[in-house]
Amino acid sequence: MSRDLLFLLLQILRELFSAISASLELNLNRDNPGLPTAQTRCGVLTCEERIVDINNSGHAKVLFSSIVSLKIFKRNTNNSRGERGIILGSVSTETPNLTLVTNDAKIFGVLDDKQAKIQVELFKPDDCQSDYSCQTLGVNSQGKKLFSAIKLTQQGQTRSPMDIDRWIDDKLDQIERSVHDVTESWNNFVFQYRIDHRLNSLQDKIELLETRKKSKLNIID
């Protein structure tokens, strides 16, 4: 497989993942220290997925026919394996509404025909410095389930797709290696076939010459 074809495949995969996760948003809005709410709350974490998204041209595009579930996680600092972490809340078609109040947070969630949304009011300052992730499961118009995820880190409060590019690059490297192995095996097979074919052809010629030689000897006798 040529590099151009691999590059085209990479572009297609990136566009696919971009389309899947384009409407998934995860934001943390910190309260202003001067506001009355800052005495008890440090910020509000919101994860939202919409059925219809507005693209750069201003046209609406449908990403999902329906949303199956939406979940939000807090990174476990004791977890060194990079797993999702501690689940804070979730909504689904089975449990479309969520209300949960603890000493550390107030969590509200809803899932309807148009969107899924989870909002977390954070009370502990440390929680407003933590990392979070959000994932959604939806179904497209062909009935295929699509998964997307996003994470929010506290290094300048940046947000990024969850290692999509790295995952795609790794998969493409695997594909390229597999194609290379198959191509090499095929080339070896073709090379061996040509050698065998030429050897067989040479053997046939030798046998033909021997047959002719015997025929001439018989004639002489």
User: What is d(CA 7, CA 199) in angstroms, rounded to the nearest whole number?
Assistant: 41
pTM over 0.75: no
Q: Are the C-beta atoms of 147 and 137 separated by less than 8 Å?
A: yes
User: What is d(CA 65, CA 144) in angstroms, rounded to the nearest whole number?
Assistant: 10
Q: Are the C-beta atoms of 42 and 125 separated by less than 8 Å?
A: yes
What long-range pairs does 148-157 form, CB within 8 A, spacing at least 24? 148/17, 148/20, 148/21, 148/24, 148/49, 149/21, 149/24, 150/21, 150/24, 150/25, 150/26, 151/26, 152/26, 152/27, 152/28, 154/129, 154/130, 157/28
Nearest-Å Rg of the Cα atoms of the chain is 31
* Extents of the domains making up the chain: 15-162, 163-221
Two tokens, residue 16:
């696919």
Q: Are the C-beta atoms of 119 and 101 separated by less than 8 Å?
A: no
The secondary structure of residue 40, as a DSSP letter, is T
Span 15-162: which CATH code?
Answer: 2.60.40
Return per-residue pLDDT of the chain as tens, 221 residues. 455 666 666 655 555 554 444 578 899 998 877 666 556 788 999 999 988 655 555 554 556 788 999 999 998 766 544 556 899 999 999 999 999 998 889 999 999 988 999 999 999 988 988 999 999 888 877 788 878 888 888 764 444 444 455 555 556 666 666 666 666 776 777 777 777 777 777 777 777 777 776 666 666 65
